[in-house]
Amino acid sequence: MHGVIPVNKPKGLTSHDVVMRMRRILHMKKVGHTGTLDPEVTGVLPICIGEGTKLTEYLQTKKKRYHAEVTLGFSTDTEDQTGEVTGRSEGVTGISDEAIDQVIGTFPGSYHQMVPKYASVRVDGRKLYEYARKGIEVDRPVREVFIHEIERTGRVEREAGLVRFSLDVSCSKGTYIRTLAVDIGRHLGVEAHMSALVRTESCSLTLDRAVTLEALQEGEPRDFIVPIPELIEDLPSVEITDESLFFKIRNGQKMDKSDIIEKVGKDDADMVAFTRAGVPVGIYYDHPEHTDIMKPYKMFNI
């Protein structure tokens, strides 16, 4: 079994918990995930299996989509609904729908996010959440992220001195949606946090394709595998038809980029997949030091 199984992660489980359960269900050790979801977050968690684990790094570069709920009125130390309240704002129910939409409309494109206190990003060899749990303040990294699309969905709810609204967000790898919620509140001049989150797309796999752990346990896991050819179908590809080229690729030999580009017919290709009889053999990418050479990125043994 090689590829990815998109799991609909339930609340209460860490991504590592899901990997451990998948190993038991599939009776195999070569299992991994493509990006952590917090325990309280649900939705698409792509689980790589077999030779599909070699695509983890590549799949993580693809954009993600989320459905989030933002609450205006108070902030928390974790920036989501699980944390301790750290600040409150009065009068938030007076913020108009138009003001909210205007602020939301400023976020598409690149912007700089400060990594939240409770994150697994390392500073001086230790994870940020380790500092936070001990009450130690450290300088947190600021990263450039990209918001491809962001849209408010449904009504703005006003109740008990709070304001709640939902967002659909398409964003780059490394974007913290809870920090986005806090930043929206900051632009409105009030305290805010993310009160719920569902990941609706990851690695080009959508929630409607995701399977529950219970369904996997009761059914045939092979029926839910997204095969490697589908996972890399957006890459330019070369079907190997002669033995000399197959020998070079199978043995991971570097190749002149001009030769590969000629076969692909695409001048700007920086990553190319090779197949034989439709079966993936390997992926080559631009050599980091020699612009006229391409070298192996990942090789498959299928």
229-254 pLDDT, tens digit each: 999 999 999 999 889 889 999 888 99
Q: How many CB atoms lie within 10 A of CB 245?
A: 18
Work out whether the CA dihedral 202, 1, 39, 195 comes out positive or negative.
Answer: positive
The CATH 2.30.130 domain(s) of the chain lie at 235-299
Query: What per-residue confidence (pLDDT) applies to 302?
Result: 81
Instruction: Report pLDDT digits (tens) over 15-25.
Output: 999 999 999 99
Residue 95 has pLDDT above 80, yes or no: yes
Q: Which residue has the higher pLDDT, 73 or 301?
A: 73
Among 17, 38, 77, 286, which one carries the catalytic annotation?
38
- Does an H or E element contain 15, and which? helix 15-26
The yes-or-no answer on residue 97 being catalytic is no
Mean pLDDT of 151-169: 97
Residue 152 has pLDDT above 80, yes or no: yes
Residue partners of 231: CB distance under 8 A and separation at least 6:
3, 4, 52, 55, 59, 203, 204
Residue 165 has pLDDT above 90, yes or no: yes
Mean pLDDT of 94-102: 97
Residue at 28: amino acid letter: M
Q: How many CB atoms lie within 10 A of CB 185?
A: 26
Q: Which CATH class is domain 3-62+203-230?
A: alpha beta
Q: What is the pTM of this model?
A: 0.90
Q: How many CB atoms lie within 10 A of CB 107?
A: 18
Tell me which CATH homologous superfamily contains domain 67-90+97-196. Pseudouridine synthase (3.30.2350.10)
Residue 265 has pLDDT above 80, yes or no: no
Q: What is the dihedral of CA 180, 184, 186, 190, to 10 degrees?
A: -120
Mean pLDDT of 171-187: 96
Reduced to 3 states (helix: H, G, I; strand: E, B; else coil), residue 132 is: helix
Backbone torsion region of residue 221, taken as left when φ is above 0, otherwise alpha when ψ lies between -120 and 50, otherwise beta: alpha
Chain-wide mean pLDDT for the chain? 93
Residue 35 has pLDDT above 90, yes or no: no
Query: What per-residue confidence (pLDDT) applies to 8?
Result: 97
The CATH 3.30.2350.10 domain(s) of the chain lie at 3-62+203-230, 67-90+97-196
Instruction: Report pLDDT digits (tens) over 181-214.
Output: 999 999 999 999 999 999 999 999 999 999 999 9
Residue 74 has pLDDT above 80, yes or no: yes
Residue at 251: amino acid letter: N
Architecture of the domain spanning 235-299:
Roll (2.30)
Residue 140 has pLDDT above 90, yes or no: yes
